[in-house]
Chain A
Amino acid sequence: MTPEIGLTQTSRHARHGSNIGQPLTRRDGILKVRGEAPYAADQHPAGMLHAVLAVSTIARGRVTFLDVNAAKSHPGVVDVMTPAHKPPLAEDPDAKTNPFMFRMELLQNDAVRYAYQPIAVVIAETLEAATEGAALLAPTYEIQPARVGLDSNDSFVPPAVGVGHPAVIERGDVEAGLASASKRIEAIYETPAQYHNAMEPHAIVAAWDGDALSIDTPTQGLAMAQGRIAGLFGLSADKIHIRSPFLGGGFGSKGLISGPQILGIMAARLVGKPVKLVFRREQMYGPVGHRAPTRQRLRVGADGEGRLAALDHHAKITSSSFDDFFEPAADASHTLYASPAIRSSHEAVRVDTGTPLFMRAPGEATGSIALESAIDEMASACGIDPLDFRLKNYAEVEPISGKPFSSKALRQCYAQGAERFGWSKRPPAPRQMRDEAGFLVGWGMGTATFPALMFQGAARAVVRSDGSGVMETGAHDMGQGAWTALAQIAADGLGLDLDRVEFRSGTSDLPDAGIAGGSAHTATAGMAIHNAGAAVIAKLADLATSDQRSPLFGAGNAGVIARDGRLFRRDDETRGDSYVDILTRAGLTEIEARGTGTANPAAQADYAMHAHGAVFVEVKVDPDLGQVRVTRAVGAFAAGRIINPRLVRSQLFGGMIWGVSFALHEEAVIDRRSGRIMNPNLAEYHVPVNADVPSLDVLLVDEHDPHVNALGIKGVGEIGVTGSAGAVANAVWHATGVRVRRFPIRIDDLVVGHQ
């Protein structure tokens, strides 16, 4: 809650009147810089013990022995939780009653289904003792050969991909389109397994009090976590109180509560004391999801004028041996380019890893780098500039559905981005540009897109007789700035200045704000806040307009507007009444109302809703040594109403850097025999450092969308990744003439003679 955690209440950037649209700095910024923002692992309730996971070193098989005695006799070790010794659960962790319920390993048996799977939990008085206890368990295994990689098992057509999307969709006749095309390309692109690697490792501090459970843990979905825990422990949800005021990143890995977090709760139950469990970095490479590796085949046909005749996108992906999540990579071809025939299809292989899950732009990121590369290859085959080619194939309606777009300012994105970048000076052939030092220079572009989604959220608004307001919703700040952006919406919704609003968020006892995922959080929670604000204002207006002592008496509900803590007659703004006076006269200390935010099904049926963008990238490549560096990137994005341009730019910067990372850096190196990930740490699992991205430019393109929701918000969390990764790949081609189709692009690929 705001006062407790000490958020900045005012901002020197705050303006009177509308808060929405102002570039306020983060209200949690000072706290974070000072290290005072309380993350879960910072909590130390009295009497707390430390739990450490013992994880499997094999990827498939059975644990045959754990030296529990050795662990227990280590000084400080209190207990060892194993399949034979653990508190009972009310629900089978392998049960799956809805697609958002993922199977987890809660020591239900001795099976090992992937490397880094928890196989025991050691609880001790100190972290060091628990760590050593875990090492002393020295497990032995019955090992079965691990299935590693896209060719290690039979493939099948998954029942659905992503969240309930058909695995195969065809519109038009792709084969006929290809047959009729005058230009055809067919290419295979590969993307590796990637891990979320949020800066903050997953952590939980759990304390039981009878059958009441108090938890500090980072989560992108408070209500879903609460529900899952309630099911597993047979509790009613209101017995479970979760605090998650800050997340040090999540990127999807904290969307659903993970098995090891539940193990922390079980450990606390077992020992009857509060327990803290913090993942080690390598323990984040198994049970919290990842982006599945893909092998994508694109077949593209175009007519003599460079118009697409067919687009066939096939993706082979992996999932785990025991659960279903299928990266919807090929769906990336549904929305961007007009083609009379489009097919997306998926094929999956079960391998011995943790279950892949949502990771920032799931499907869109993997699919987009392949699609944007293929479009670039086709543009080159047709002898057309990549931007002109994209404009030629601009989708006026959503290609896969034929629906009109609720709004689409992509043309403006292309134009503004190209102008800022200087794209018109690009020579068409590759390997034409050098800088003064002799580095190869290449320019590439990609189109960005991400669906404008909404989940369901609720909020509660209060206006107090001292003229202040309260807004409550259990939203999640993963670093994206919910504490700030949602408070801005709250202030406008309540007709108050930001410093008059107490914005409460981040705990499970507040109204459910919906999951912070799918780039939908600001839209969902924001609409709930907006509607709760409108509802409480309507109540105030009722009071005023029916009170003879009010200057607003008789104005009627529709006839007032709220601003600066007052209601005004819409037709005569000289007549107004303050919240203080309205409530005081009514003898009320406060008045409250609730609101919900959810998508409008009618609008969804009629319109395709997406954010769009265009990304332009310059790379330099050492012609002999193959080292690549992105020297410039410009992204122009149209994503509906921008609540806070400062925060939105940061999101888009982050997304674009992620795109650079996708194209050039990120890869989980998996040992082909053992199935273990060999680089499960931030020294060896590379993401870009500052020196890798010297210049970034984000343009926010105006877009008014009357259909997505009343606030016109589309969401910006994920779109920056899409388009960017392909733009980097295309720029590398343009610099070198070498088309690398396996990502990340490596030095080996570019050292001539070893392509």
Chain B
Amino acid sequence: MKTFDYVRPASVSDAVAAATEPGAAYLAAGTNLLDLMKGGITRPDRLVDITRVPGLDRIEPMPDGGLRIGALVRNADLAHDAEFARSYPSVAEALLSGASAQLRNAATVGGNLLQRTRCAYFYDTASACNKREPGSGCDARIGENRLHAVLGWSDACIATHPSDFAVPLVALDAVVEIAGKTGRREVALEDFHRLPGDTPERESVLEPGELLVALRLPAEARGFSAHARYLKVRERTSYAFAVVSAAAALRIENGAIRDARLALGGVAAKPWRARSAEKLLEGQRPDAASFRRAAEAALADAKPSGDNEFKIELAQRVLVRALLLALAGTPKRVPALPASPFSSPAGAFA
């Protein structure tokens, strides 16, 4: 491996200072970063290990009823936090559908949101990849791309964002807090990840050295807890990234949809909020027909980026099913096969 410096700052400001140097990278649990380093995909000169920075590992209620989750909270700890799982059940379900138990025990909230794409050409340093090496081209575009993006992609890059966690978060208007050299700022998670455009190497709005310090879920998002699900179609029952996933959350009043929140995973370089579909649902009767119309709207702009046309139809079906599941009601406990189609309660089919 390439030799690198390793620093272990004791405060957010020290961390930011250490990471502002070119070639620096934050190290959280390393479940993604270390793999990338071993494969030579990222070759940082300096690792800024943030795992000892105090105060970033807390789950705190906010005065306004929201929840603030430190960037170092482990995926498993968050998913198993009773208050969190009760208030934001689809987020807990998404977390538990990701990776494996061992990885979830290690992986952090910040690392999950900032994990890199699983595009095989990105991982294969012998391939041309604009994300890894700007301007080198995109071998996925003409390669094995059945699982690549159908929304928001560009000719420069057709990769998807792999996080499950981020999908219900973006649906529920989560916000991230960012610390930088010049202070703190916050950004809606929906605006945090970037579409590739001509600069697929820039995956988020983080500027060099900026640290994601916390994630916030608004109080208002709790209003969906009775009807919130995450559904993930994958190529084996567990321990696989999503082919397509969807988060659906509903507020139903008097037999009609008062409010809907929808997002898709595995379809774009960012967790994909489906706002047009949400709008269509408002005031509608919650049934298969209205769900299908919404799903069609969500995918209206989709186009295949390769051998992946099936994902467009699949995404619509996943969305419809996620809505049906949400309508049926959040189960009391996260199912034993979280987010799996095979954990649906009876009668969930359209």
On A, residues with C-beta under 8 Å from B are 57-58, 75, 128, 131-132, 135, 436-439, 620, 622-627, 629, 664-665, 669-674, 676, 678-679, 683-684, 686, 688-692, 746-748, 751, 753-754
Which residues of the other chain, B, contact A622 by a CB distance below 8 angstroms? 233, 341-342
Is the Cβ of A437 less than 8 Å from the Cβ of B344? yes
Tell me the count of chain B residues lying within 8 A, CB to CB, of chain A: 45
Which residues of the other chain, A, contact B340 by a CB distance below 8 angstroms? 627, 691
Which residues of the other chain, B, contact A665 by a CB distance below 8 angstroms? 235-236
Q: Is B239 an interface residue (CB 8 A)?
A: yes
Residue of A nearest to B243 (CB): A747
Is the Cβ of B321 less than 8 Å from the Cβ of A689? no
Is the Cβ of A629 less than 8 Å from the Cβ of B237? yes
Q: List 15 A-B contacts (CB under 8 A).
A: A128-B1, A437-B344, A625-B314, A625-B341, A627-B234, A629-B237, A629-B342, A669-B120, A671-B139, A671-B143, A673-B139, A678-B143, A689-B237, A691-B238, A691-B340
Q: B221-249, CB under 8 A of A: which get 1 and which 0?
A: 00000000000011111111001000000
Is the Cβ of B126 less than 8 Å from the Cβ of A674? yes
Given the interface pairs A626-B314, A671-B143, the reply to whether A746 lies near B235 with Cβ below 8 Å is yes
Is the Cβ of A747 less than 8 Å from the Cβ of B233? yes
Residue of A nearest to B3 (CB): A132
Is the Cβ of A686 less than 8 Å from the Cβ of B240? yes
CA A412 – CA B120 in complex, angstroms?
48
Chain A nearest CB from B225 CB (Å) reads 23
Is the Cβ of B346 less than 8 Å from the Cβ of A132? no
Sample of 8 more A-B contacts, CB < 8 Å, known A669-B120, A676-B127, A689-B238: A57-B126, A58-B126, A135-B2, A622-B342, A624-B320, A625-B233, A669-B144, A754-B313
Given the interface pairs A132-B1, A669-B144, the reply to whether A691 lies near B237 with Cβ below 8 Å is yes
> Which of A438, A678, A746 neighbours the largest number of chain B CB atoms within 10 Å of its CB?
A678
One of B235, B309, B349 near A624 (C-beta < 8 A): B349
CA A86 – CA B309 in complex, angstroms?
51
Chain A nearest CB from B215 CB (Å) reads 25
Residue of A nearest to B317 (CB): A624
Task: Enumerate B126-164 residues with CB–CB distance to A below 8 Å.
Answer: 126-127, 139, 142-144, 146
Chain A nearest CB from B85 CB (Å) reads 21
Main secondary structure of the interface of B (DSSP, over half): loop
Main secondary structure of the interface of A (DSSP, over half): loop
Chain B nearest CB from A62 CB (Å) reads 16
CA A625 – CA B266 in complex, angstroms?
15
Which residues of the other chain, B, contact A629 by a CB distance below 8 angstroms? 237, 342
On B, residues with C-beta under 8 Å from A are 1-3, 38, 40, 118, 120-121, 124-127, 139, 142-144, 146, 233-240, 243, 309-310, 313-314, 317-318, 320-321, 337, 340-342, 344-350
What's the A-B contact tally at a CB cutoff of 8 Å?
Answer: 114
Given the interface pairs A624-B317, A671-B139, the reply to whether A438 lies near B347 with Cβ below 8 Å is yes
Chain B nearest CB from A50 CB (Å) reads 12
Top 9 closest A-B pairs, CB basis?
A57-B126, A691-B237, A678-B120, A438-B349, A754-B310, A691-B238, A748-B310, A622-B341, A624-B317
Which residues of the other chain, B, contact A438 by a CB distance below 8 angstroms? 344, 346-349
Residue of A nearest to B316 (CB): A624
Chain A nearest CB from B32 CB (Å) reads 11
Given the interface pairs A438-B346, A684-B118, the reply to whether A751 lies near B313 with Cβ below 8 Å is yes
Is the Cβ of A437 less than 8 Å from the Cβ of B2? no
Is the Cβ of A672 less than 8 Å from the Cβ of B144? yes
Is the Cβ of B239 less than 8 Å from the Cβ of A689? yes
Which residues of the other chain, A, contact B125 by a CB distance below 8 angstroms? 57
Given the interface pairs A678-B124, A679-B120, A747-B314, the reply to whether A131 lies near B342 with Cβ below 8 Å is no
Is the Cβ of B124 less than 8 Å from the Cβ of A676? yes
Which residues of the other chain, B, contact A686 by a CB distance below 8 angstroms? 235-236, 240
CA A171 – CA B99 in complex, angstroms?
52
Chain B nearest CB from A5 CB (Å) reads 28
Is the Cβ of A754 less than 8 Å from the Cβ of B309? yes
Chain B nearest CB from A672 CB (Å) reads 7
Given the interface pairs A669-B144, A674-B127, A747-B235, the reply to whether A623 lies near B349 with Cβ below 8 Å is yes
Chain B nearest CB from A689 CB (Å) reads 5
Chain A nearest CB from B31 CB (Å) reads 11
Which residues of the other chain, A, contact B344 by a CB distance below 8 angstroms? 437-438
